Amino acid sequence: YQYLSRYKQKQNLDQFTFLPGTIKGTEKECLACLMEFCERRDPSWTELSNFTHFLNFQLRNCEKSVFCSSVVGQEFHGF
């Protein structure tokens, strides 16, 4: 949710890394955002769960990737 809400607000995600304990927003806002980005009309809980698990997996890999590090980002903005 933290990434999606910032993406929706057109914030720069290159410098953002999620830190546990820094959660912003309410449960209602989170659910609305997830439903919007899930792109399913009236998604089930299973579909939302699968979407969030897949998204979290991808974001963790991105955060750990050397290609998404600040060093590479300085040379290749937006990479």
Q: What is the pLDDT of residue 67?
A: 72
Say which amino acid occupies 63: E
27-38 vs 45-64: helix crossing angle, rounded to 10? 90
Q: Is the pTM of this model over 0.95?
A: no
pLDDT (tens digit per residue) in 30-53: 899 999 998 888 889 999 999 999
Cβ count within 10 A of residue 66: 7
Mean pLDDT over 48-61 rounds to: 91
Closest by CA to 34, choosing from 67, 78, 71, 3, is: 3
Tell me how crowded residue 1 is: count the other CB atoms within 10 A of its CB: 19
Q: Where are the domains of the chain?
A: 1-75
